[in-house]
Amino acid sequence: MAQRWDAVFVSLAAISLLGMPVAVTGAGLYSPGDQVTILDTDNFDRILYNSSNAWLVEFYASWCGHCINFVPVWKALASDIKEWKPAVSLAVVNCANLKNAKMCRSFEVNAYPTMKFFKAFSKPFFRGKPLDDKDSKSTVSSLRHAIIDHLEQHGEDVWPPACPPLEPASMAEVQNFFVDNNVQYLALIVEEGSSYLGREVILDMLQYENIAVRRVLSSEENLTVTLDVQEIPSCYLYFSNSTHRKVTVKMPTRTFYTYHLRRLPGVTRGAYKLAELNSTHMSTPPPWRDFDSSKIYMADLESALYYSLKVEVGSHQELSGKALTALNQFIGVLTKFFPGRPFVMNLLQITNSWLAEATMAPISNNAYMDVLSNKKGTTGALLPEGVNWVGCQGSRPHFRGYPCSVWTLFHLLTVQAAKYNESMSHKGKTAQTGPQEVLYTLRQYVKYFFGCRACATHFEAMAKESMDHVDSFDKATLWLWSRHNRVNNRLAGALSEDPIFPKLQWPPPDMCAECHSEVEGEHQWITDEVLKFLNVYYSPSNIDYTYLEGEQELLKKQKVREEVQQDREKDGPKQEEEKDEGDEEDEEEERSEETPVRNDKQQETSKAITGIRRDGSQKRTFITGKRMRRGQDDIVDLDTFVNEQYKSQALKDRAEYKRASLMNEGFHRPQLHLQSIDDSESLDYAVFQSRLQKREIGQGYLEAISEVKKQNWLGLLGMSLSRTDISLCVLLYFLTFLCLVSMYLYFRMRFRWWKWKNRFASA
Residue 505, SS3 per DSSP: coil
Residue 36 and residue 101 in contact, taking contact as beta carbons nearer than 8 Å: no
Residue type, 720: S
Closest by Cα among 331, 405, 320 to 372: 331
Residues 108, 110, 111, 113, Cα dihedral to 10°: 50
- Contact between 300 and 405 (Cβ < 8 Å): yes
Instruction: Report how far apart, in Å, the C-alpha atoms of 744 and of each of 8, 141, 739, 740 are.
Output: 77, 94, 9, 6
- CA pair distance 191, 193, nearest whole angstrom: 7
Q: Is 104 a catalytic residue?
A: no
Give the CB-side neighbour count of residue 393, counting CA atoms within 13 A. Answer: 17
Look at residues 641, 729, 719 and name the one whose alpha carbon lies nearest to residue 677.
Answer: 719
Q: Which amino acid is at 98?
A: L
Catalytic residue among 67, 104, 404, 455: 67
Tell me if residue 215 falls in helix, strand or coil: strand
- Greatest Cα-to-Cα distance within the chain, rounded to the nearest angstrom: 140
Distance CA 414, CA 297 (A): 17
Nearest in space to 595 (alpha carbons), one of 694, 720, 710: 694
Q: Is 67 a catalytic residue?
A: yes
Q: Which contiguous run of DSSP H or E holds residue 190?
A: strand 185-191
Q: Of the candidates 485, 461, 331, which has an alpha carbon nearest to the alpha carbon of residue 411?
A: 485
Cβ neighbours of residue 357 closer than 8 Å, sequence gap 6 or more: none
Helices and strands in the chain, H and E counts:
28, 17
Choose among 652, 649, 720, 712: nearest CA to 683: 712
**Identity of the residue numbered 402:** Y
CA Rg, the chain, in Å? 37
> Of 674, 684, 671, 673, which is closest to residue 716 (Cα–Cα)?
674
Given 64, 95, 163, 235, the catalytic residue: 64
d(CA 477, CA 418): 8
Whether residue 83 contacts residue 115, with contact meaning beta carbons closer than 8 Å, is answered with no
What positions carry a catalytic annotation?
A: 64, 67
